[in-house]
């Protein structure tokens, strides 16, 4: 039997799991990049935490894999209005990286940056408390390059543009500093449940 979340053959009038203005993309996983997919191997990948921390640190692929593994199974929501239910990612909780870098009390925000140059800003509170990950597996397989492999940031409770692909690091700041899309009119936080798509929403 096929488990569906609507009524087969009829328009889905209501899905309580969908934030306002979103549709269920089903098995599709659209690729959305403002950048060309880089040729980045695990050996070339590093992840750094710097800025307002007691100890700036860079982890390479093997060092990152020595941290306790952590998985996310749940939904993701893109600002272009598709959502996906029940996706499975695995990697390491950002809490594990931050525990080693030790954010200073003055740190309130972060800019996540990618090996490709993409940036996106987030309140530090959205990156802690078991709600954000560095992930390298999707559905038990290595994360495909076009979806950010070898590793990407995953912040599933915010719109998916916050989940920087090919993530290279986080800089902790004492103020909010708009990233790539945020400088182009998108919302500073991007909470899909409050439909924070554009600045001013
Ligand atoms: N490095 C990088 N990360 C990025 C982007 C990008 O252009 N470059 N696009 C963002 C946007 S707008 C979205 S919706 C998601 C799309 O992720 P996907 O292609 O895996 O669906 O990645 C986000 N992360
Ligand atoms: Mo997006």
pLDDT along the chain (201 residues), means of 10: 46 70 94 95 98 98 98 96 96 98 98 98 98 98 98 98 98 98 98 96 94
Atom of ligand 1 nearest to the CA of 76: 21
Distance in angstroms (rounded) separating the CA atoms of residues 61 and 149 = 12
Residue among 154, 95, 168, 148 at smallest CA distance from 125? 95
Distance in angstroms (rounded) separating the CA atoms of residues 60 and 35 = 23
* pLDDT for the residue numbered 2: 40
Atom of ligand 1 nearest to the CA of 148: 20
* pLDDT for the residue numbered 168: 98
* pLDDT for the residue numbered 13: 47
Instruction: Give residues (CB < 6 A) around ligand 1.
Output: 29-35, 78, 114, 116, 118, 147-148, 160-161, 163-166
* pLDDT for the residue numbered 16: 73
Query: Can you list the domains of the chain with their CATH numbers?
Result: 48-194 (3.90.420.10)
Element (H, E) at 88: strand 82-93
Atom of ligand 1 nearest to the CA of 165: 3
* pLDDT for the residue numbered 3: 45
3-state secondary structure of 10: coil
As given in the structure block, the two tokens for residue 2 are: 């096929």
Q: Which residue has the tokens 């690091």?
A: 169
- d(CA 99, ligand 1 centre) in Å: 26
- d(CA 146, ligand 1 centre) in Å: 9
């Amino acid at each position: 039997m096929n488990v569906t979340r609507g009524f087969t053959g009829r328009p889905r009038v209501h899905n309580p799991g969908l934030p306002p203005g979103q549709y269920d993309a089903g098995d599709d996983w659209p690729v959305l990049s403002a950048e060309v997919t880089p040729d980045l191997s695990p050996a070339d990948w590093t992840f750094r935490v710097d800025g307002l921390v007691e100890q700036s640190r860079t982890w390479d692929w093997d060092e990152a894999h020595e941290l306790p593994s952590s998985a996310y199974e749940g939904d993701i929501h893109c600002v272009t209005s598709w959502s996906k239910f029940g996706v499975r990612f695995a990697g390491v909780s950002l809490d594990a990286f931050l525990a080693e870098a030790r954010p200073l009390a003055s740190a309130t925000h972060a800019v996540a940056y990618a090996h490709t140059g993409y940036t996106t800003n987030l309140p530090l509170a959205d990156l802690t408390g078991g709600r954000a990950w560095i992930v390298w597996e999707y559905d038990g397989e290595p994360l495909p390059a076009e979806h950010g492999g070898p590793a990407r940031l995953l912040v599933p409770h915010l719109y998916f543009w916050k989940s920087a692909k090919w993530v290279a690091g986080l800089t902790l700041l004492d103020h909010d500093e708009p990233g790539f899309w945020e400088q182009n009119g998108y919302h500073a936080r991007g909470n899909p449940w409050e439909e924070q798509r554009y600045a001013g929403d």
